[in-house]
Chain A
Amino acid sequence: MIEQYVPSASTFSPDIDHIIWLVLVITGFWFLLAEGVFFWLIFRFRARPGVKGEFITGEKPHEKRWVTLPHYLTLIFDLWILVVAIKVWTAVKITTPPAEETVRIIAQQWAWTFVHAGPDNKLDTADDVTIVDELHVQKDRVYHFELTSRDVLHSFSVPVFRLKQDAIPGRVIKGWFKPTLTGQFDVQCTEICGIGHGVMPARIFIESPEDHARWLKGPANVATAVPPSAPAAPATPGGTK
């Protein structure tokens, strides 16, 4: 459902789409049923001349089961949703596959700084590639990120990865992702961070290993050479860049 609109570009994004789809089916079914019963009752028991309402307390066991039965059904479906939700959550946020590369992400009012490990694949060395508002990653490679902020709260969000994590000054928050699609997509800041919150866009470039190697050799030029993928063609890239 979501992937029709927002491409699914990380290893865990299908799992997140799946839990969303599951909740949609379960709640959608009960929602429609409840609304159906509700409108039917309004129609069926509309006031008619000479017909008095019934006196039903709803406290007798055979009446009350109309409440207790849905009660237990809610419980059962809640449990089902919970089990899947927690499984997905654990896979995304608690367990972490070993890193093949690590990026440092620094948020500040109002820009993102991405520190790429560079050819030696180690951070804090001379060949680190530090750029503002552009994150370059390779497809099919496990990335760890170290997220921090220089001032206020921000939130690192990559919708195509279904990934979101707040950045907190004074702390380094770790997480991971593994891209599965090439293309370029929006990176958002999803925590209000002052008057520039609306102009804190960045782009993520997911490249094949060859393109990525080419970019590493001459970062400035290659950004534009990567063809934008599928529907993500920039429609109206507003004036900032």
Chain B
Amino acid sequence: MSSTAHGHAASVGNGHDAPAGHHHNPGFIEKYLWSTDHKMIGFQYLFTGMAMALIGGFTVYAFRMQIAFPGMSIPGYGRVTAGDYNALVTTHGTVMIFWVAMPVLIAALGNYLIPLMIGCDDMVFPRLNRLSYQIFLVSALVLISSFFVEGGAFGGAWTSYPPLSSKSQYNLTGVGSTLWVVAVALEFVAFLLGGINFVTTVMNSRAPGMKLWDVPIVVWMIVLASILFMASVGPLVAGAVMLIFDQNFHTGFFDPVKGGDPVLWQHLFWFFGHPEVYVVLLPAMGIVAEVITVFSRKRLFAQRTVIMTAIAVGIISFFVWAHHQFVAGIDPRMANVFSVTTLIISIPVAEMVFVYIGTLYGGSIRLTTPMLWALAFIAEFLLGGVTGIFLGASGADIYFHDTYFVLAHFHYTFFPIAFIAVFAAITHWFPKMFGRTLNETFGKVHFWGTVIPFNCIFIPLFVLGVRGDHRRIYDYRHFPDSMQAGMQDLRVFATLSLVVLLAFQVVFLVNFFYSMFKGPKAPANPWHANTLEWAAPSPPPHGNFPEGLPTVYRGPYEYSHPDRKEDYWPQHIAPEGA
């Protein structure tokens, strides 16, 4: 158990599995695989998330190629059958959300940043933390294994609606669909354990002097996201158990013939699924707040408002779920209620974006690579946000529901969240994580090579959605109205843009791994930032703050303060004369 709850400097690095005081050299397994150090667990999540992103990227490559060049044998995959197509789409969506966005944004960054940013030596429950990662790893392996069982991987979409998902005679992937549910349920358990840890740690282990408003926004956001996750996932875990029963023991929770109701699953899924969108959005917003304040040398505009709006978003997100079900056969009068709540939630979200834009006013803006990513997040997410209004407006959603318009909309939110904000985070905290510096030129090449193709993929998909293309279709040649002039060209253009985007990720990987070992050494605080992680050495040793745990004297964003010569004022520096 960590001793930081007691506060003061003497307790550095105490009380972990490894005996304190004398440093014995841990073996490879103990250091990298069996560690309880929050930073190592953060890395485990980060690298697992990156590996899973390769799967998410490869699957989208394969199924997009099939759309653009139907029937072709795809280099690196082969022929994509109708069944393959569904399995690839399902895996892509499931992996990107549950095994990339969640682990990287919440678990990797939460684990790495929270103790450093609140100035303590580790999580409150380090072993629970280790268990959380191990369960997560098992969940990923279970999901991957479903590709190799009889019938192959589940292809009923990431939403897994029964009766398709509940009966093997319908989905033809009896084992695969059970493995899918089991994997998702295990993953939820892993994040529940992690969430308990985050919340408890931030409640109990903040550095002396750190009041709630002094906690950096990214920590606030990760904690709020964890609470949101924990509060919304319960019903879906229950639903998952019912689904496993329906699949394997022929119960009838979702089977109308046996008195069940398939729509029940949709309520359970989206009661979780919509808050889930904010579970990944909030940490991304937090990252962006950290980066734009550092690189515009500005205090966050109306900092308290950001936290208030985040709390408001969290609460309202529990009342919007059925906007995914306007045309699903629910009482049509209910749609009006959910249309109202959905447009209401646009207000705090828009407000957050206004605050970020306002922060730039009066700044001294440096367009470093992390800053480019953070700014791109705002620019792109705005489009994701406004297109959501079309779908929240029930009358318009009748047309757009389950078309590529919806798809492009949510990728304009998810891609900025899961990739653009994550790249902002990685490039921002890389010097801290690895004690070395990334190459800026490579960073910028990667930035433009990602952001431009991203728009070239999804703008055409908006157009296709407006023109009526519906989702999860492996070959549009069966639909004459979807084969009118220009439509296939748009599909090809989007797919080629994807190939370009994927190719540019090589630049990132090279820069990342090369710099990790060979990059120029980074100082402790290369960006002249205020928050506590920059008070620790780069990289921080076990126990984080070898010179004693810091004490906090001010808020996290006191940049360009008139009372100070330097344009930053770290949280842990004692005021003069104190």
Q: A residues bordering B, Cβ < 8 Å?
A: 1-2, 5-6, 15-16, 19-20, 23-24, 26-28, 30-31, 34-35, 37-39, 41-42, 45-48, 51-59, 63-64, 66-67, 70-71, 74-75, 78, 81-82, 84-90, 92-94, 109, 151-153, 155, 157, 159-160, 162-171, 173, 185-186, 188-199, 201, 231-240
Contacts and interface: CB of A to CB of B under 8 A. Distances in A.
B86 A165 contact: no
B402 interface: yes
B401 A6 contact: no
Nearest to A232: B481
14 contacts: A2-B399, A31-B386, A38-B382, A52-B560, A67-B354, A82-B343, A164-B402, A166-B329, A168-B328, A168-B329, A192-B164, A196-B82, A197-B473, A234-B480
Given A89-B339, A195-B81, A195-B82, 18 more contacts: A6-B468, A23-B393, A24-B390, A41-B363, A42-B375, A56-B361, A58-B358, A64-B302, A66-B358, A70-B354, A82-B339, A152-B163, A159-B468, A160-B481, A168-B262, A190-B471, A196-B82, A201-B478
Nearest to A88: B395
B474 interface: yes
Instruction: Describe B's contact surface by its main secondary structure.
Output: helix
Contacts of A56: 298-299, 301, 361-362
B274 interface: no
Contact of B382 (A35, A41, A57, A198): A35
Nearest to A163: B398
Interface of B: 81-83, 85-86, 155-157, 161-164, 170-172, 256-257, 262-263, 296-305, 326-329, 332-333, 335-336, 339-340, 343-344, 346-347, 350-351, 353-355, 357-367, 375, 378-379, 382-383, 386-387, 389-390, 393-396, 398-403, 466-468, 470-475, 477-485, 559-562, 567
B475 A78 contact: no
B82 A19 contact: no
Contacts, number: 316
Contacts of A58: 299-303, 305, 355, 358-359
Contacts of A190: 401-403, 470-471
B298 A54 contact: yes
Contacts of B353: 34
Contact of A27 (B299, B300, B328, B386): B386
Given A151-B163, A168-B263, A194-B170, A16 B477 contact: no
A5 B480 contact: no
A185 B481 CA distance: 7
A63 B299 CA distance: 13
Nearest to B468: A159
Given A16-B395, A70-B354, A197-B86, A47 B379 contact: no
Nearest to B464: A5
A216 B300 CA distance: 70
Contact of B350 (A15, A16, A70, A88): A70
A130 B483 CA distance: 28
A169 B344 CA distance: 34
A236 B364 CA distance: 57
A94 B389 contact: no
Contacts of B172: 194-195
B362 A45 contact: yes
Nearest to B383: A31
Nearest to A48: B364
Given A67-B305, A197-B472, A153 B389 contact: no
Given A86-B336, A232-B481, A234-B480, A195 B393 contact: no
A82 B484 contact: no
B344 to A, nearest CB: 7
B163 A89 contact: no
Contact of B399 (A16, A27, A171): A16
Contacts of B256: 168-171
A27 to B, nearest CB: 4
A65 B473 CA distance: 47
A186 B470 CA distance: 11
A87 B559 CA distance: 50
Contacts of A199: 82, 475, 478
A54 B361 CA distance: 8
Contacts of B484: 5, 231-232, 235
Given A66-B354, A67-B354, A198 B398 contact: no
A166 B327 contact: yes
Contacts of B329: 165-168, 171, 173
A55 B560 contact: yes
Contacts of A23: 389-390, 393, 396
Q: Which residue of B296, B375, B394, B480 has the most chain A CB atoms within 10 A of its CB atom?
A: B480
Among the interface residues A47, A58, A151, A193, which one has the most CB atoms of the partner chain B within 10 A?
A: A58
Contact of A64 (B86, B305, B390, B466): B305
Contacts of B559: 53, 55
Contact of B398 (A16, A30, A84, A233): A16
Nearest to B563: A55
Closest 6 CB pairs of A and B: A170-B256, A88-B395, A238-B477, A54-B362, A58-B301, A85-B393
Given A27-B386, A53-B364, A198 B478 contact: yes
A75 B349 CA distance: 12
A159 B402 CA distance: 12
A16 B467 CA distance: 14
A19 B339 CA distance: 14
Contacts of B386: 27-28, 30-31
Contacts of B477: 236-239
B378 A201 contact: no
Given A53-B296, A85-B396, A38 B339 contact: no
B167 to A, nearest CB: 8
Nearest to A90: B336
B47 to A, nearest CB: 32
Nearest to B558: A55
Contacts of B387: 27
B480 A237 contact: yes
Contacts of B305: 58, 64, 67
Contacts of A70: 350-351, 354
Of B364, B375, B379, B567, most buried by chain A (CB within 10 Å of CB) is: B364
Given A74-B346, A186-B479, A197-B473, A57 B164 contact: no
Counting chain A CB atoms within 10 Å of each CB, which of B299, B304, B375, B561 scores highest?
B299
A195 B86 contact: yes
Contact of A198 (B85, B351, B365, B375): B85
Contacts of B343: 78, 81-82
Given A27-B386, A166-B328, A45 B402 contact: no
Contacts of A163: 398
